[in-house]
Amino acid sequence: MEGITDNIFWIKDKRVSQDAIHPYTEAEKSIPIIIDNGSYMCRVGWATDAEPRLVFRNCYAKQRKDRGKKNSTNDSEILVANDISNIEAVRFQLKSQYDENIVTHFEAQELMFDYIFTHLGVNTSTVNHPIIITEALANPHFSRQCMSELLFECYGVTNVSYCVDGLLSFHLNTKAEDGVVINIGNCSTYIMPILNGFVVTANSRRIRIGGQHLVRYLWRWLQLKYPQHLNAITLSRAENILYSNMHISENYMSELSNWADPDYFDKNVTKIQLPFYAQPSTTLSAEQLKERKREAAKRLADVNAKKREERLEEDEQELARLVELEEAMEEFTPDEAEYQHALDEAQVNTLQELQTKTSALRQRIEKLKLKIQQANTLIKDDEIEEPKPKRVNLSIPSDAEEREKCLEGIKQQWRDIHARKTARKNRRQEMAKRRTAASQERMRIISQLAKREKKEDNFGMRDEDWDVYKAINKDSGGSDSEEDDEKLQELETILKHHSPEFLGETTTKPISIAENYQLLLSIEKIRIGELLFQPSMYGIEQGGISSCLEYVLNLHSEEEQSRLVNNVFVTGATAKIPGLKKRLEKDLLTMRPFQSNFNVYIAKDPELDPWLGARAFSTEILENGMSEEEYKSLGGGFLKKHKFGNEYWTPEIPPQIVVPEVPKSGQ
Amino acid sequence: MVAAEEQNEEKLTESKIPVFHNPNFKHSAIRFSKKRVWKNLKQILALEKSYIWPTDAVHYSNIEAPPSFTPAKKYSDVSGLPANYTDPLTKLRYANSSEFQYVRGLSMDIVNGLLEIRKANSIV
């Protein structure tokens, strides 16, 4: 049902299914493995695959097994990537190897590699394959060193090559050697100038806003706008809404002013339908409810009647027995054994007791009979009698003019009470706050009371003395507000009946339950995407994409600038939001000299292109990879220069930081 | 008792280790630290600074985008429309009088939440 019908967008929660463990065939031996290790999604496949085999969220959840049980040790269940079928269920346990867009937690990365190689079906003692893996631009040396160490020493891979995702996408999409890459990632957005095929790292810039911030912003915003649906608005749903309903406005300010117009709003608003469960009781009409009530009452009466009849029967039998005993006893004298036996039978000591017992029983039977009779007539009465209306309301004259006058009076009364109520509410609020006139007045009276001379305490002698409490009471006038409530309700019932449109102004009642579960998207549709251009809306002081692009361009000579703007290339999963191209073109038009040329391109597949690029250029990348010997002699942070990767500078690492080599055991 | 449990656990984790995984591998970065804590990004960047680099080297922390050169535009916290006013009590921005009424009717946690999403809530 997902999709937009009638401006209503039906949310459907996506469930991920577990990844299959692929068979490991002879043909795959020594084929490179390509890993696009993004901070949000990870894509993995053999270099011979047309598309990545595994696509999963780069995260895991640690859950404690049988929590609360006595014998539970601290073993926990770890769900990795696509093992998590519903991410919202483990949202608080979710962990990732990333800090921003840099891998920092390599035990977590180890877990992800285990997952990757297991699902690729690797079943040999080492992962005997070259690896092509992506990393962030200017990835810290330390981070790369740890990654190489993990891949070579833990998995025994043959070769490792590092690439930057945005550069792979750029070279896949364009044959040009110059350009600017705008890579909108999950954590941050990179602006990377490329000259002669190589990235100019020194002039690249990173803005700390990415897809993740957009999702979080939308999520929090919707939660605050609809606090009643706090738990129904999840991050996954916000993400779903973001990528299916948002666009980037070409001219944000003018589009904003459109939204201020109610007609435009009605025409363009999108309703997000949250899943909901209809309560069955609400489908019953008042008549049906009444019928049900009546049936229940009748059933109860029937049960009672049956019980009474049973009791009557029992009593009558008992009476008959006792009478029989009494008659029998008359034939014997008290000395005879039969006489005593009869007394035992009746569970009494003397004949008098037996006689009182029988008479009491007779009375009870009489009473029961009377009750049964009453109950029978009552049921009949019930069936005829209609429940009376609760309150006889003010009579409304039938004459149209009179009626109008009368209703106007009622409306006026309603307004008065309503105003009184709001005034009281405001006063209460004022009182609660310090430094308002009302609370200062209250404090003044209290301090005066406290100051009063205590020589002659006659407080309470006069009735007016007690009024002072009314003045200093925090929620003054609480008692008569209840009265007002009742009156207000009464008036509302009349108004609802005679002029329903009047109350419509003040209390809008939703028509269906579904509408109760709808979120309205208006300005949000352009506001979220605008975050990329105005990070200040998210509290980030950095400039947006356009202003940063302008800054980066200004770091270059004019000749270089025109080479760069000729090929402005946008990639990264967030680039899927429509309208991005037009907006960038508009912004470039304002920042570039009059009648100069520029071109904006969006990646063919902003999400998948880094992986596909690595596949397309795998031979070239692998030629510049790092072999195990190079790793051992040059260190794990080492890089060879190639078009798709980071630049490398050799650091001189102070000796105290170098970790001493420990003899390896078991290898 | 404790020793037995530990053994048990060891066995459990061992059985989980895939064949291609070197069972004796230990990360050098945490091999000698007792707490086995990984450095976060900030600490890594600080560590990188302590290395001696060639003069032209560019680091992760060097390519941070500059702050915006234009003043931040102000938008209403409740509607997103351009806002000319700020409520002195709640510090929320609003565009018109009806929004002001709405702002004053909001509960404290909503107000704080709205300030928080543009990181304008000062924790005092």
Give the highest mean pLDDT range of A51-65, A191-205, A442-456, B26-40: A191-205
pLDDT exceeds 60 at position A280: no
Any idea which residue has 């891998």 for tokens?
A: A103
List, in sequence order, every residue forming a beta bridge with A423; answer none if it has no partner: none
Q: State the pLDDT confidence band at B60, using cuts at 50, 70 and 90.
A: very high
pLDDT (tens digit, 9 = 90+) per residue, A99-120? 999 999 999 999 999 999 999 9
pLDDT exceeds 60 at position A575: yes
**pLDDT the model gives residue B6:** 44
Contact present, A297 and A255 (Cβ < 8 Å): no
> Rounded to whole angstroms, how far apart are CA atoms A633 and A639?
13
> Rounded to whole angstroms, how far apart are CA atoms A259 and A252?
11
pLDDT exceeds 60 at position B13: no
**pLDDT the model gives residue A301:** 87
**Is A223–B113 a contact, with Cβ atoms under 8 angstroms apart?**
yes
List, in sequence order, every residue forming a beta bridge with A459; answer none if it has no partner: none
Closest CA to A106 of A140, A65, A70, A56: A140
> Rounded to whole angstroms, how far apart are CA atoms A223 and A238?
10
**pLDDT the model gives residue A39:** 92
- Closest CB to B12: pick one of A75, A123, A523: A75
Q: HSE, CB side, 13 Å, CA atoms: give it for residue A531.
A: 30
Residues A261-274, mean pLDDT to the nearest whole number: 90
- Closest CB to B82: pick one of A107, A139, A256: A256
pLDDT exceeds 80 at position B64: yes
Mapping DSSP to helix (H, G, I), strand (E, B) and coil, where does residue A35 land? Answer: strand
**pLDDT the model gives residue A67:** 55
Report the amino acid identity of residue A348. Answer: V
**Is A538–B117 a contact, with Cβ atoms under 8 angstroms apart?**
yes
B99 burial level (CB within 10 Å; 0-12, 13-18, 19+): buried
> What's the CATH code, domain A213-276+513-528?
3.90.640
**pLDDT the model gives residue A451:** 74
**A294-308, A357-371, A487-501, B39-53: lowest mean pLDDT where?**
A487-501
- Closest CB to B53: pick one of A122, A537, A649: A649
- Phi first, then psi, for residue A425 (nearest 5°) are -60, -45
**A438-447, A448-457, A461-470: lowest mean pLDDT where?**
A448-457
- Measured between beta carbons, the chain B residues lying within 8 angstroms of A224 are 110, 113-114, 117
Q: State the pLDDT confidence band at A326, using cuts at 50, 70 and 90.
A: confident
pLDDT exceeds 80 at position A60: yes
Least CA distance to A537: which residue of chain B?
B118
- Measured between beta carbons, the chain B residues lying within 8 angstroms of A137 are 63
- Closest CB to B22: pick one of A154, A217, A221: A154
- Closest CB to B40: pick one of A99, A206, A541: A99
Least CA distance to A128: which residue of chain B?
B20
pLDDT exceeds 50 at position A86: yes
> Rounded to whole angstroms, how far apart are CA atoms A584 and A11?
30
List, in sequence order, every residue forming a beta bridge with A162; answer none if it has no partner: A133
pLDDT exceeds 60 at position A497: yes
Q: State the pLDDT confidence band at A292, using cuts at 50, 70 and 90.
A: confident
**pLDDT the model gives residue A81:** 87
DSSP element (H, E) containing A262: helix A262-268
**pLDDT the model gives residue A486:** 80
List, in sequence order, every residue forming a beta bridge with A181; answer none if it has no partner: A192, A569
Terminal-to-terminal C-alpha distance of chain B? 50
**pLDDT the model gives residue B42:** 92
Mapping DSSP to helix (H, G, I), strand (E, B) and coil, where does residue A2 land? Answer: coil
- Closest CB to B65: pick one of A543, A649, A651: A543
Q: Which residues contact A270 (CB under 8 A, 6 or more apart)?
A: A4, A7, A8, A9, A245, A520, A521, A522, A525
**pLDDT the model gives residue B9:** 44
Residues A406-432, mean pLDDT to the nearest whole number: 79
Least CA distance to B67: which residue of chain A?
A542
> Rounded to whole angstroms, how far apart are CA atoms A465 and B72?
58
DSSP element (H, E) containing A324: helix A286-330
Contact present, B1 and A100 (Cβ < 8 Å): no
pLDDT exceeds 70 at position A360: yes
Residue A19: Cβ within 10 Å count: 20
Residue that wins the pLDDT comparison between B72 and A447: B72
- Residue A195 is given by DSSP the state E
**pLDDT the model gives residue A474:** 57
- What sign does the CA torsion over A527, A533, A537, A540 have? positive
pLDDT (tens digit, 9 = 90+) per residue, B26-42? 888 776 666 778 889 99
- Measured between beta carbons, the chain B residues lying within 8 angstroms of A506 are none
Percent of chain B with pLDDT over 70: 81
**pLDDT the model gives residue A102:** 94
A106 and chain B: CB distance < 8 Å anywhere?
yes
**pLDDT the model gives residue A357:** 86
pLDDT (tens digit, 9 = 90+) per residue, A128-185? 999 999 999 999 999 999 999 999 999 999 999 999 999 999 999 998 999 999 999 9
Question: How many residues are given for chain B?
Answer: 124
Residue that wins the pLDDT comparison between B10 and A273: A273
Contact present, A431 and A474 (Cβ < 8 Å): yes
- Phi first, then psi, for residue B85 (nearest 5°) are -125, 155
Model pTM score: 0.71
Residue A83: Cβ within 10 Å count: 15
Percent of chain B with pLDDT over 90: 44
- Phi first, then psi, for residue A334 (nearest 5°) are -60, -20
A541 and chain B: CB distance < 8 Å anywhere?
yes
Report the amino acid identity of residue A487. Answer: K
- Measured between beta carbons, the chain A residues lying within 8 angstroms of B23 are 666
Q: Which residues contact A253 (CB under 8 A, 6 or more apart)?
A: B82
**pLDDT the model gives residue A185:** 93
CB neighbour burial string for B60-89, b if at least 16 within 10 angstroms, e if fewer:
bbebebeebeeeeebbbbbbbbbbebebee
pLDDT exceeds 90 at position A464: no
**Is B119–A539 a contact, with Cβ atoms under 8 angstroms apart?**
yes
**Is B117–A126 a contact, with Cβ atoms under 8 angstroms apart?**
no
- Closest CB to B110: pick one of A227, A523, A551: A227
β-pairing, A205-207 vs A3-5, is: unpaired
Report the amino acid identity of residue A486. Answer: E
Residues A611-618, mean pLDDT to the nearest whole number: 94
Give the highest mean pLDDT range of A12-16, A21-25, A464-468, A663-667: A21-25
- Measured between beta carbons, the chain A residues lying within 8 angstroms of B40 are 99, 104
> Rounded to whole angstroms, how far apart are CA atoms A241 and A220?
13
**Is B20–A122 a contact, with Cβ atoms under 8 angstroms apart?**
yes
Residues A335-341, mean pLDDT to the nearest whole number: 76
> Rounded to whole angstroms, how far apart are CA atoms B93 and B86?
4
Report the amino acid identity of residue A592. Answer: R
pLDDT exceeds 50 at position A2: no
Q: Mean pLDDT in chain A?
A: 84
- Measured between beta carbons, the chain B residues lying within 8 angstroms of A208 are 64-65
Residue that wins the pLDDT comparison between B92 and A355: B92
> Rounded to whole angstroms, how far apart are CA atoms A459 and A465?
6
A150 and chain B: CB distance < 8 Å anywhere?
yes
Chain B nearest CA to A304, separation (Å): 53
For A312, the token pair is 């009557």
CA distances from A624 to A37, A197, A200, A367, A427 (A): 19, 15, 19, 107, 75
pLDDT (tens digit, 9 = 90+) per residue, A530-563? 999 999 999 999 999 999 999 999 999 999 999 9
Residues A377-398, mean pLDDT to the nearest whole number: 55
Contact present, A142 and A113 (Cβ < 8 Å): no
- What sign does the CA torsion over B96, B99, B101, B106 have? negative
**pLDDT the model gives residue A3:** 45
pLDDT exceeds 50 at position A507: no
A57 and chain B: CB distance < 8 Å anywhere?
no
pLDDT exceeds 70 at position A4: no
ipTM above 0.90, yes or no: no
Closest CA to A222 of A512, A515, A524: A524
Residues A657-665, mean pLDDT to the nearest whole number: 54
Residues A255-282, mean pLDDT to the nearest whole number: 83
How many angstroms from the chain centroid is the CA of residue A96? Answer: 21
Residues A348-363, mean pLDDT to the nearest whole number: 84
Chain B nearest CA to A630, separation (Å): 18
Q: State the pLDDT confidence band at A503, using cuts at 50, 70 and 90.
A: low
Chain B nearest CA to A72, separation (Å): 11
Terminal-to-terminal C-alpha distance of chain A? 57
Residue A443: Cβ within 10 Å count: 12
Q: What is the number of CB-based contacts under 8 A between chain A and chain B? A: 199
Where in chain B are the domains? 37-66, 69-124
**Is B117–A217 a contact, with Cβ atoms under 8 angstroms apart?**
yes
How many angstroms from the chain centroid is the CA of residue A209? Answer: 22
**pLDDT the model gives residue A667:** 44
For A236, the token pair is 């996954």
Contact present, B60 and A140 (Cβ < 8 Å): yes
**pLDDT the model gives residue B120:** 87
